[in-house]
Structure 1
Amino acid sequence: MNELFDDFKSIVVNNTPLIDVRAPVEFKKGSFLHAANLPIMNDEERHDIGICYKNNGNAKALELGHQLVRGDIKEKRVQAWLDFMDSNPDALLYCFRGGQRSKIAQSWMQEKGRKIVRLKGGYKAFRGYLLNELEHFNQQFKPIILGGRTGSGKTIELKKMQNAIDLEGLANHRGSSFGQKITPQTSQINFENNLAYRLIQKREEGLKTLVFEDEGKHIGTVFMPDSFIPVMSKAPLVILETPIDKRIEITLDEYVVKAQEVYESAGFTDAFKVWQESIENAMYRIKKRLGNQKYSEVCMLFKNALEEQKRNSSFDGYKEWVAYLLQNYYDPMYDYQIQKRSKQVVFKGSAEEIKEYIERVI
């Protein structure tokens, strides 16, 4: 049995589970949605076999591989694949190029009476397919950009739209100076792969107009694909207008209430202190743009809010701090950027008005 599969579109559309038998170091650089890293070799074994291959050729490297992965080690790794197949009977198998590692894994599973199909061309071929989808983005979709000041609720509204793609969510970043999260950002490769997944799925739903939040070339440490930048920079821009009191409420919930909950659930010994330090570090990063006086003022407001929360467990003290940040840091910066792109703006309105406008034009 040596079955191969190369209908990559069906993998994306069906969210097919995948077994990635590459070494952990390879998996960390980039993988696919719904893929589990169940390696046939660990990093050290892969390193040793690679040296052997370079010095002595394929036959000797293959021989060393079988020496390193045998007995209990082999049984445990095969059992991990079988356990995954028990929960995901439609799973497919791949290594880097669809060569020896996945072929050996396939044969070992067959010895246990379990058939599994492997990807033709492996990771490299599937990755190439996804990159090609990104490259032809402008030929398949018409983008609309959703803008608005910080705290206007853009992400909240995007999540309500069937034809929207949340780029910040894919990047695992909140897109601001306070946008860092506890969990690391998605790698560049994973960001591209996950974005391609979303595009393919939206296309198969019959959607041709997609809504994206207003982003720059970078979202934290990841950057937009080259094919996106010229298209997005000229796309029509709709501006979500939200009253300042609502913006304060949304920002307070994100930066303070939910953020503290995340730090607590992460199991830090002093979660409140760790969260406090993360905010103080974020404020220090914007010190130069704020200037010394405003930096001192915003730090004092934050200190007062901390003390109030400690005294009576209230978040109300943070409202003044959030308002100061919005009006003295975020708003001037955003308004300046929007002024430079005024020709792109095609509509401004409330959340409901934005929804009605987009429904009319798609």
Structure 2
Amino acid sequence: MKYPAVLPFSELIATLDSYDTIIDVRSPLEFAEDHIPGAINCPVLSNEERVEVGTLYRQVGAFEAKKLGAALVAKNIARHIEGPFRDHPQNWKPLVYCWRGGNRSGAMSHILARIGWPVTRIDGGYKAYRSHVNTELAALPASFRFHVLCGPTGSGKSRLLRHLAAQGAQVLDLEQLANHRGSVLGNLPDSPQPAQKRFESSIWHLLRGFDSARPVFVEAESKKVGRLRVPDALMERMRASSCTVLSLPLPDRVALLLDEYAHFTDDTAQLGTQLDLLTPLHGKEKIAQWHQLVASGEMPKLVETLLATHYDALYAQSVKRNFQQLGEAGSLQIHDFSEPAFEAAARQLVTTVA
């Protein structure tokens, strides 16, 4: 084969995992928004350089912009060759892409091929990859048999998913992928949610690695996890799937939530801000009472109150309305929120849902 090889993403998908390195040569900001899972970022133009070249193109003209861009690209490619690529052997097999598979990835792949590496460039670049993900997410969920974990807030659905994964079950943890716990108090401090496109890439990447003959465990979710939207086809498939309802004694639910939301104990100001978001539902007087519980350090009482007056009723309405097989769901009682209890529950569920 003549290198650099140029192939469409549709032909590369079956052999994507055979490449030693997937190189995204776009700017760091483009890479941060989304990228092919497993890719590394080796930009041929920095964020600032990309803006500089684009501005020159609009204000002066294509020739001057290309001349500046070529100099910057050459400098940056040299830096990558002298740095992260320096010790790669001759049979190192990289896959390179940029936004549309044109100038930036073309320059990188041409130089790597002239050195002697068997490099392939994605024709159509990230844009082609993104089109493939959109198509797959509309069809792929129908290939799987999902099993949905239901149960009120604090019953341990996310914790059980982690134990299922540890025992080798196929798990799609949407809250983990979204970096959010799925409620008004679910944002994680100092850890922002990914971009919507990155969330969808993560879902696609997991689904493409699953065995369609085995069940996929997932938590009952609404259409949005924080500010991110669950893909429509996946949501529809989940809502039509079989369910198991978890139950955990109320004191253990409170203890579990205090454990998983421990950051609010350290940052009561942020907790107060989040509680204020519930004012339209519960009124200023009740919110003031909850603020007083926070101020007096009565966190267990606050959690129990929130469960009784907010979370449990809303969850019961939502899950009954949205999950078609809830009436035929099995039940799984977890006696406490200890690790052995969840390990045992995971083993039981794996056996039950064959």
TM-score band, normalised by shorter chain: 0.7 to 0.9
Q: Equivalent residue for 1:264?
A: none
1:192 aligns with 2:194: no
> What corresponds to 1:154 in structure 2?
157
Q: 2:181 aligns with which of 156, 165, 174?
A: 174
Distance in 2 separating the partners of 1:24 and 1:175:
28
What's 1:235 paired with? Answer: 241
Q: Which residue, 309, 312, 318 being the options, matches 1:337?
A: 318
TM-aligned CA deviation for residue 68 of structure 1: 3.6
Which residue is equivalent to 1:319?
Answer: 300
The one-letter amino acid paired with 1:219 is: V
Query: Structure 2: which 5+ residue stretches go unaligned?
Result: 335-343
1:209 aligns with 2:179: no
Pair 1:300-2:292 in alignment: yes
- After TM superposition, give the deviation of residue 61 of structure 1 in Å: 4.6
Matched, 1:281 2:273: yes
Once the 2 structures are TM-superposed, how far is the Cα of residue 16 of structure 1 from its aligned partner?
6.2
> What displacement does 1:17 show?
4.2
Give the structure 1 partner of residue 26 of structure 2. 22
Structure 2 counterpart of 1:63, from 44, 56, 67: 67
In structure 2, the partner of 1:267 is none
In 2, the alpha carbon distance for the partners of 1:83 and 1:249 equals 52
Tell me by how many angstroms 1:83 deviates: 5.6
Aligned partner of 1:95 in structure 2 is 98
Q: Secondary structure at the match of 2:23?
A: strand
Partner residue, 2:332:
349
- 1:250 pairs, out of 240, 252, 256, with 256
- By how many angstroms is 1:47 displaced? 3.3
Instruction: Summarize deviations over 1:16-66 as a string: whole Å, max 9, x none.
Output: 642210122322332132222221012333234445666888766543322
**CA apart distance, 1:228:** 2.0
Partner in structure 1 of residue 170 of structure 2: 163
- 2:129 is aligned to 126
Change in CA separation of 1:211 and 1:342 when aligned onto 2, cut-off 3 Å: closer
Tell me the distance in 1 between the aligned counterparts of 2:282 and 2:87: 52
> Could you tell me how far 1:70 is from its partner in structure 2?
4.5
Gaps of 5+ in 1: 262-271, 306-316
Whole-angstrom distance in 2 between the partners of 1:91 and 1:290: 56
| Shift, 1:260, TM fit | 6.6
Say which is worse superposed, 169-178 or 36-45, in terms of deviation.
36-45
Q: 1:333 to 1:194 in 2, by over 3 A?
A: same
Pair 67,210 (structure 1): closer, same or farther in 2 beyond 3 Å: same
- Distance (Å, rounded) in 1 between the aligned partners of 2:182 and 2:219: 10
Aligned to 2:5: 3
Measure how far apart 1:183 and its partner are: 1.4
Per mean C-alpha deviation after superposition, the further-off stretch among 32-41 and 102-111 is 102-111
Write the distance in 1 (CA, Å) between the matches of 2:81 and 2:185.
Answer: 44
Residue 216 of structure 1 deviates from its aligned partner by 0.8
Deviations 1:295-340 (A, max 9, x none): 22221221111xxxxxxxxxxx422222222222211221222343
Q: In structure 1, what residue type is equivalent to 2:223? A: K
TM-score normalised by structure 2 residue count:
0.82
Pairing 1:41–2:48 present: no
Identity of aligned residues (%): 27
Provide the C-alpha distance between the structure 2 equivalents of 1:91 and 1:210, rounded to a whole number of angstroms: 32
Q: How many residues align?
A: 332
Counterparts of 2:273 and 2:22, CA distance in 1:
39
Q: Secondary structure at the match of 2:330?
A: strand
| In structure 2, distance between residues paired with 1:85 and 1:334 | 54
SS at 1:97 equivalent = coil
| Structure 2 SS opposite 1:227 | helix
Give the RMSD, CA atoms, in angstroms: 3.1
Partner secondary structure for residue 313 of structure 2: helix
2:341 corresponds in structure 1 to none
Scaled by the length of structure 1, the TM-score of the pair is: 0.80
Moved more, 145-154 or 342-351: 342-351
